Structure 1
């Protein structure tokens, strides 16, 4: 199986501790992380992804906002630059332990965080990175 993920969520997953917008959102996010930890590949998508699903029925859902699309574009560019190849919907990303470590190292060094500017979770994610990602749920196989 393959998990559909929008670009900026690749950054969010690095620091995910089980917190989120609603209990349904958190439960769904946990399921997505479990699938990635089991070794499923990622397909980068344009727009709402599997993490967004519980939010899409809400009246004030932000998943389609221009600000979120801009965040995706910034993340897509930064991640492609770091990984050395463009990330598109036709490519699958294998999020193994080495790739996750590379992403976390760059995240902690603020090399791929342009998309995080003005995010409501930015301070929390910064503290998690400073704490060496302790307790984070994403732990894909080697």
Structure 2
């Protein structure tokens, strides 16, 4: 597995998008948004070696927001709700604008700081919460962290017989 080229710019995430990326299952607000989210999550974070993808925390619209139909310049037409989500996620994950961490480091921080069942508090107001994919992804991440050693990509290592 080769290291991720250091010349690639980091992916920019607002705080609540760390958990969105964890729970993403291919659904989004609009086709362009979904294609972009798929390219970031599946094409970068979840690909082989994707755990080394660097992420920079931002307090405004980020790389996931780029084609969102709700985006308004550097903000959102639902800015009050987004600010509440970002504040809750920043506090829960100890994130601040300008912080840089790899996707592996982000997943480790999620495991350390957000337990299954916490999403009803941290993600209060998120329209996707009721579908359960984020809670399921969080439970899988916690299960992977407690039942098997992790590879650099945060995937369970299959034990040899």
What is the TM-score of this pair, normalised by structure 2? 0.65
Aligned equivalent of 2:44? 35
TM-aligned CA distance change 1:73 to 1:63, over 3 Å: farther
Q: Secondary structure at the match of 1:7?
A: coil
Match for 2:58 among 33, 45, 49?
Answer: 45
Aligned equivalent of 1:141? 153
Match for 1:78 among 92, 103, 106?
Answer: 92
Runs of 4+ in structure 1 displaced over 4 angstroms? 56-59, 104-108, 130-134
Consecutive unaligned residues in structure 1, runs of 5 or more: 81-86, 135-139
Aligned-pair CA distance for 1:133: 4.5
TM-aligned CA distance change 1:131 to 1:69, over 3 Å: closer
TM-aligned CA distance change 1:36 to 1:9, over 3 Å: same
Task: Tell me if the contact between 2:37 and 2:64 (Cα under 8 Å) persists in the aligned partners.
Answer: yes
How many residue pairs are counted as aligned between the two chains? 130
Aligned-pair CA distance for 1:123: 1.4
What is the TM-score of this pair, normalised by structure 1? 0.72
Consecutive unaligned residues in structure 2, runs of 5 or more: 1-8, 142-151, 155-161
Q: Distance in 2 between matches of 1:131 and 1:36?
A: 16
TM-aligned CA distance change 1:76 to 1:58, over 3 Å: closer
RMSD: 3.2
Higher relative contact order (CA 8 A, sep 6+): 1
Q: Distance in 1 between matches of 2:138 and 2:78?
A: 32
Task: Tell me if the contact between 1:79 and 1:112 (Cα under 8 Å) persists in the aligned partners.
Answer: no
Q: Distance in 2 between matches of 1:115 and 1:131?
A: 13
Aligned equivalent of 2:122? 115
Aligned-pair CA distance for 1:115: 3.2
